[in-house]
Amino acid sequence: MARARNIKPSIMDNEALAELAPIDRLLFIYLWMLADREGRLEDRPKRIAKQAIPYDDDADADAILSRLHASGFIKRYSAAGKACIQIVNFSKHQAPHGTEKDGDIPDENGMVTVHERKPNGYATGQKSLASCSITDAALSDNSALTVKEQVSNALIPDSGFLIPDSLIPDSPHTPQGGRPRRSPTAAIESMPGFEAFYAAYPRKVGKQAALRAWLKLAPDEALQATILGALAAQRPHLDRRENGRFIPHASTWLNKGQWEDEIPGAKVPVNDSGMRWFEAAGFETEYEAKNARCHVGNYQLYRAGKLVEEGATA
């Protein structure tokens, strides 16, 4: 699944990249969105081509990847029986969202990175390495790597995460090891993205239905920011008569994609100078603002295109 990444315009200032064919540059840029939080992905040219350059049937993705490897932009290698790609300098230019799950693609030494997590699922910044092995079943169905604890401070792989299916209350499956599933309430509490949405939604009815709609939608970080921004813009315009009974349930709002609805006043100037919300936050475009997780609901926390640290003076 493609992820939202911060691709800076200055990427085209790279003279070595300029020497490559346009299709090579396009695929390279898209690799950043296919990579996990460590900048790694499976080296599967056909799958990559389908996701990154679906309209270029005559393009040879394998040859393009080889050229990118030869130019030093990526590394192609094998580890733990798997063909892998590492985007060079990925960690230098990207700061993945705190809730983005750990990658399961090993590095050149067959190790995966395990991030320490807070109770709400956010990475603390502390990480360790763990060795990984692949079972025959995993090889046959291309499922995730099985991580084995390697170092003393490595997390147990399933200690901070829930498999998406495990959030469905009526699923009969019992997790490996026979541990009972978390309650639906615990499952919701482990999803800060959903919790932030539901806390902001003005009508608190049908939380479980809203959770199912959220899981079905499976929004990435960029879409979550869009949803929260749209909700903040729509709140002043919702029909609050009769204690808000005309406001749709949160599940209905999600299922109908109502964050895309045009709301009067959502893009009006926000100050006497006529600046729109993203301009007031220091961004040139709304798209650029959303890439930085800035939206209508939190733009006042940004200055000159950067989030102002809590407690700092504007």
Look up residue 216 and give its two tokens: 């079905």
Furthest-apart CA atoms within the chain: distance in Å: 66
Question: Does the CA dihedral 210-211-212-216 come out positive or negative?
Answer: positive
What's the pLDDT at 154? 37
What's the pLDDT at 61? 93
CA distances for 46 relative to 71, 106, 150, 169, angstroms: 21, 20, 33, 36
**3-state class of 267 per DSSP?**
coil
First to last CA, the chain: 37
DSSP 89: T
Q: Which tens digits make up the pLDDT trace of 116-130?
A: 888 878 888 888 888
What's the pLDDT at 133? 57
Domains in the chain, start-ordered, CATH in brackets? 9-93 (1.10.10.10), 186-307 (no CATH)
Cα–Cα distance, 211 to 195 (Å, whole number): 9
Phi, psi of 210 (to 5 degrees): -65, -40
How large is the average pLDDT for residues 257-285?
71
- Of 3-17, 47-61, 163-177, 179-193, highest mean pLDDT: 47-61
Cα–Cα distance, 164 to 281 (Å, whole number): 35
Contacts made by residues 266-269, CB under 8 angstroms, sequence distance 24+: 266/230, 266/233, 266/234, 266/296
Residue 131 has pLDDT above 70, yes or no: yes
Q: Which tens digits make up the pLDDT trace of 181-199?
A: 444 454 444 466 888 888 8
Helix (H) or strand (E) holding 234: helix 221-234
- In this structure, how many other beta carbons lie within 10 angstroms of the beta carbon of residue 193? 19
What's the pLDDT at 166? 33
What's the pLDDT at 125? 80
What's the pLDDT at 24? 93
Q: Report yes or no: 155 and 114 within 8 Å, Cβ to Cβ.
A: yes
For the chain, what is the radius of gyration of the CA atoms?
22
Mean pLDDT computed over every residue of the chain: 75
